[in-house]
Amino acid sequence: MSTAIEEKTVTCIVCPSGCVVRVVLKGGKIAGISGNMCRKGTDYAKTEVINPMRILTTTVRMEDNRLLPVKTERPLPKALIFDAMKELSHVRVKAPVKIGQVVYPNVADTGVNVVATRSWK
Amino acid sequence: MIDVAIVGGGVVGCMIARKLSRYQLKVVLVEKEDDVASGTSKANSAVIHAGYDAKPGTLKAKLNVQGNPLYDEICRELDVPFKRIGSLVVALNEEEVNVLEELMERGKNNGVPNLEIINREKLLEMEPNITSESRAALYAPTAGIICPYELTIALAENACLNGVDIKLNSPVIGIRAESGGGLSVETPGEIIHTRYVINAAGLFADEISRMAGAEDYSITPRKGEYLIFDRRFGDIVNRVIFPSPTKISKGILVCPTVDGNFFIGPNSNDVREKDDVSVTLQGIEEIVRGARKLIPRLPLMHVIASFAGLRAVSNTNDFVIGASKKVRGFINIGGIQSPGLSAAPAITEMVVDILKEEGLELKEKSNYNPGRPQINKFRLFNNEEKKELIRRDPVYGRVVCRCETVTEGEIIDAIRRPLGARSLDAVKRRTRAGMGRCQGGFCSPRVMAILARELGIDPLEVTKCGSGSEMLKGRTKEFIETGGVKSAK
Amino acid sequence: MQNRELVIIGGGPAGLSAAVEARKLGIKDVLVIDRESEPGGILKQCIHTGFGLHIFNEELTGPEYAERFIEEAERLGVEIMLDTMVLELTADRRLVAINSREGLVEIKAKTVILAMGCRERTRGAINIPGFRPAGVFTAGTAQRFVNIEGYMPGRKIVILGSGDIGLIMARRLTLEGAEVQCVVEIMPYSNGLIRNVVQCLEDYDIPLLLKHTVVNIHGRKRVEGVTIAEVDDDMKPVMETARFVSCDTLLLSVGLIPENELSRMTNIEIDEVTGGPVVNQRLETSLPGIFACGNVLHVHDLVDYVTQEAVLAARGAALYLASGSKKYEHIPVVTGDNLRYVLPQRINVDAVLEGKVNFFMRSVRPMAKAELFIESEWGVIKSRTLRHVRPSEMISIQVSRDEMIGSEIIKFRLQEEGGRVEHGN
């Protein structure tokens, strides 16, 4: 395993302060965190550096060509967002749709479902 | 064989087309853009000048003064708004007061009626927002305002209705004298054989003349930039307000529009390219500085659009109108800069006379219709009329452009009329949808959908102003596979 | 002529929230008029998350937030008249509206709530030089194309203005496979929320160019590129720094303007700073019985605040219906140092007796730390220390009856602490 030292910066979004947090990584492990003004910044920066997660919101097409807004039920790894977009670009949903309904399960093999964020009659 | 082919669908070309459509003639008008009024005629000061400005003895002076009074009838027949609100040339110092007197003298020589120099008190009473520095003004009650593209479209619609064949998207790429007499006009789609060609090509009139082997003259594009303001401030001035003129131009004016807005401009700068209608930072500053001399408190936060137009300035500095001495049947109308719009009706009369002299026989049609199908301008109707209109046709109950209160019925009509709109700008010029304070932010997706539906085309094919100006680039999801997809960091 | 108890103009978040609250307060006859074919307003196209944290304590998307209110409005028997445009409103609350079904509808309302929202500032309003080709859109129009109509306005995009809609669209278009070249912002700081700067731009390596603007638009028929340049401290472009950026689309996210054409027609007093009506703490305008809430009143950063404000307007309408029109005595609210505006602009003295007043305000520039002072003619009545003040984020504070009683003027001012700080992103 490499023991190279790496430094990453993360802008914390927990509060409006927007602290720029410096994270030092040694061999892929966190060796130091600085620049944040509070404890929350430490946790945020850790997740951001190790495994950043995002909710994805987008649209899928209905069979009648209307657009259905959707979101991932939970955050998914940021790195997989474009894979998820590619998968969803082929999805066709049949009306009617109820808000919260799963329209695509296990997107990008993440175990996360994609659900409708509006109802369509 | 066609009798007359008109090159150019500006105000002059369309007015001549309309005039000739009352006679038993075969007339074609070719226009290179996707709509008429796409060049100088859509972007100018929209003023019908009284006629004191041009030097006595010039065609400009003569045709302006003759053209002005003809507008009442034309606009009545075509139901085009025209307001004879009068103009004021404002003097800010003694020297300029002398200029007013010269102008008045010149105006009298040109035959302009009812000119009057008014004092400061009278001026401030007439125009309360004018600068307190003003000394006096030349008042010309016969000056008026019009919407130049609405006029041009109305003329073209009427010409269409009376049998003129208007060919859009048809740039002229060749003109030749035929050995057996007559001329051929070539466009990418066809060759038109005609007895006469009228060159009303505006900025390109010199190129068309040269193409035909007719007289050699040059047209220089001279740009004028404008700022147009929110209708809320439309009453900042009541008349066309000019500064005292300099040798080069009539100066930067402050002027109401027939649709209730007001604008400032134009400046005056020669440019190299005949399609350079870009607005510049310096230009905006220049016209704001100029206009502030007349109206110090301009609501600059409420500008809704800036635009530029190009004047077609000939090297003779006067209109170039006449039958070619070199090419039989070819008639030039070049250098129609200000007061070209004001002079257009008189230019038309002059061209008809030239055609007669050149041997064209003009026999009146029995079925000539001077008007055009009525336009239901919903916003100008009273509540009873609105009620009745929606009852008759429910599409008038749907407002598409909320800034200008334009209904779906009006947009459908604009597409289905003679010479119907084919692009967003063409709908805008016919209905005002997208002309308001939000500049189409709200209504353009809706107008695009109506255009696609009415024309039976894919929404991706809808353009702003003809081929090459498509509004949309694709469908969602389409670029995901093909586009330059980045991976998230 | 229909007679109505409460007519709400606009069925977006403000109008729907007000309608729901009005029904809960026992107003029987509530009519919402909306020009679209569905209620929900702009939320329908805001498919991203970030809505509802204050009201529902969860992070919803725009359509989800809207659907909750639409369902509740239906459940409570709110009448919603769709595809209908209000053309006229008079001071005595007569309305003229039109639609295709009923034609021209005339209504006499006992109370009216204005909830028409706002519109986007355009290119003309900021005078960008250049040509006028296809491919210049406001960010909200582009959002409608992408999220509702299903079309891409462009493939290669430059965004002018770093307001939240611009940032959100930068991400949205990137996800759909477009290439966002950069976001250009004339101010030295972003006008959007930090989380949007991070999650919409930084996540996708989209450069945010602060202190830059677009100085030219190229292309006769379709946008072919823009020239961008740095600006100096007076926001004048430094032409030596100008450079060409190739793109087929320019999106404008340069601010929102409350949509008060109807209010102006009715001669309601308008605050030229907020662009919305002048109101008291019941959100009653200068015309008795006419209330206003949401973005028509002033532009909000969070929809949750719109809902809270709509609740106040509905309460105002209910009180008015219960007690009728009265001539109130008002004391002025003054906007002092470092604040752009304070809302409400005046306080109805009688209503003060009812309890607390919520004040909303915006600072003129970002400050790391500041002290907010609330003063009457007697001196400071309240103060609060604020951190991370930004013009894009509304400041709100409650002042109680006891703190205000007996005052003839209420003044707000903001004092920066620890000197001026450049607070960029």
Confidence of residue A13 (pLDDT cuts 50, 70, 90): confident
Calculate what percentage of chain B has a pLDDT beyond 70: 98
Could you tell me which residues are beta bridge partners of residue B261? none
Calculate what percentage of chain C has a pLDDT beyond 90: 83
Note the pLDDT of residue C277: 98
Question: Annotated catalytic, B193?
Answer: no
Segment holding C71, helix H or strand E: helix C62-75
The chain-wide mean pLDDT, for chain C, equals 93
The answer to whether the Cβ–Cβ distance between A18 and C425 falls below 8 Å is yes
Chain A partners within 8 Å of C199 (Cβ):
13, 54
Task: Please state, as a whole number, how many other Cβ atoms lie within 10 Å of the Cβ of residue B98.
Answer: 12
DSSP-H helix ranges across C160-286: 164-175, 194-196, 261-265
Specify whether the CB–CB gap between C246 and C154 falls below 8 A. Answer: no
In the predicted model, what is the mean pLDDT of residues B137-155?
A: 98
CA-based nearest distance C71→chain B, Å: 26
Specify whether the CB–CB gap between C44 and C144 falls below 8 A. Answer: no
Calculate what percentage of chain A has a pLDDT beyond 90: 60
Among the partner-chain residues A16, A54, A59, the one whose CB lies closest to the CB of C390 is: A16
Note the pLDDT of residue B193: 97
Confidence of residue C405 (pLDDT cuts 50, 70, 90): confident
Note the pLDDT of residue B140: 98
Residue B134's region, left for phi above 0, alpha for psi from -120 to 50, else beta, is beta
Residue B485 near chain A (CB below 8 Å): yes
Give me B23's structure tokens. 């006679």
pLDDT tens sequence across A101-112:
999 999 999 999
Task: Please state, as a whole number, how many other Cβ atoms lie within 10 Å of the Cβ of residue B99.
Answer: 17
Between CA B361 and CA B366, with CA B362 as vertex, the angle to 5 degrees is 140
Give me C146's structure tokens. 């992408």
Confidence of residue C423 (pLDDT cuts 50, 70, 90): very low
Contacting B with CB below 8 Å, chain A residues are 54, 59, 61, 67, 78-79, 81-82, 85-86, 89
- Chain B residue closest to C140 (CA)? B441
Question: Where is average pLDDT lowest: A42-46, B229-233, C14-18?
Answer: A42-46
Note the pLDDT of residue B263: 98
Chain C partners within 8 Å of B488 (Cβ):
203-204
In the predicted structure, residue C420 carries a pLDDT above the cut 80 = no
pLDDT tens sequence across C148-175:
999 999 999 999 999 999 999 999 999 9
The answer to whether the Cβ–Cβ distance between B487 and A89 falls below 8 Å is no
Confidence of residue C323 (pLDDT cuts 50, 70, 90): confident
Confidence of residue C350 (pLDDT cuts 50, 70, 90): confident
Could you tell me which residues are beta bridge partners of residue B219? B314
Confidence of residue C421 (pLDDT cuts 50, 70, 90): very low
Q: What are the distances in angstroms from CA C265 to CA B232, B292, C54, C294?
A: 10, 28, 35, 19
Note the pLDDT of residue C20: 98
Strand ranges inside B244-282, DSSP E = 253-256, 262-265, 269-270
Residue C29 near chain B (CB below 8 Å): no
Chosen for mutation from A11, A86, A104 (greatest number of chain B CBs closer than 10 Å) is A86
Residue from C230, C284, C237, C273 nearest C113 by CA: C284
In the predicted model, what is the mean pLDDT of residues B145-159?
A: 98
- Chain C residue closest to B482 (CA)? C177
In the predicted structure, residue C425 carries a pLDDT above the cut 50 = no
Among the partner-chain residues B228, B437, B475, the one whose CB lies closest to the CB of C151 is: B475
The answer to whether the Cβ–Cβ distance between C124 and B474 falls below 8 Å is no
Note the pLDDT of residue C325: 65
Note the pLDDT of residue B415: 98
Cα torsion through B312, B315, B321, B327, rounded to 10: -110
CA distance C110 to B289: 49
Confidence of residue C351 (pLDDT cuts 50, 70, 90): low
Strand ranges inside B335-437, DSSP E = 399-401, 406-407
Q: Which chains touch C (3 or more CB pairs under 8 A)?
A: A, B
Residue C131 near chain B (CB below 8 Å): yes
Which of B19, B32, B42, B49 does the annotation list as catalytic?
B49
In the predicted model, what is the mean pLDDT of residues C374-392?
A: 91
Calculate what percentage of chain B has a pLDDT beyond 90: 93
In the predicted structure, residue C243 carries a pLDDT above the cut 90 = yes
In the predicted model, what is the mean pLDDT of residues C339-360?
A: 85
Chain B partners within 8 Å of C150 (Cβ):
475-476
In the predicted model, what is the mean pLDDT of residues A115-120?
A: 97
More confident residue, C390 or B344: B344
In the predicted model, what is the mean pLDDT of residues C331-353?
A: 88
The chain-wide mean pLDDT, for chain B, equals 95
The answer to whether the Cβ–Cβ distance between A86 and B480 falls below 8 Å is yes
pLDDT tens sequence across B273-285:
999 999 999 999 9
CA-based nearest distance C175→chain A, Å: 7
Confidence of residue C353 (pLDDT cuts 50, 70, 90): low
In the predicted structure, residue B486 carries a pLDDT above the cut 50 = no
Note the pLDDT of residue A62: 95
pLDDT tens sequence across B301-332:
899 999 999 999 999 989 999 999 999 999 99
pTM for this entry: 0.94
In the predicted structure, residue C51 carries a pLDDT above the cut 50 = yes
pLDDT tens sequence across C97-139:
999 999 999 999 999 999 999 999 887 767 789 999 999 999 9
Cα torsion through B81, B85, B91, B97, rounded to 10: 120
Q: Which chains touch A (3 or more CB pairs under 8 A)?
A: B, C
pLDDT tens sequence across C181-229:
999 999 998 888 888 999 999 999 999 999 999 999 999 999 999 999 9
Give, to the nearest 10 degrees, the angle between helix B444-455 and helix B408-416: 40
pLDDT tens sequence across C275-295:
999 999 999 999 999 999 999
Sign of the Cα pseudo-torsion (B155, B159, B161, B166, in order): negative
In the predicted structure, residue C63 carries a pLDDT above the cut 60 = yes
CA distance B356 to C372: 83
Note the pLDDT of residue A12: 87
3-class state of residue C283 by DSSP:
coil
Note the pLDDT of residue C122: 86
Note the pLDDT of residue B488: 40
In the predicted structure, residue A43 carries a pLDDT above the cut 70 = yes
CA distance B196 to C209: 59
Note the pLDDT of residue C390: 86
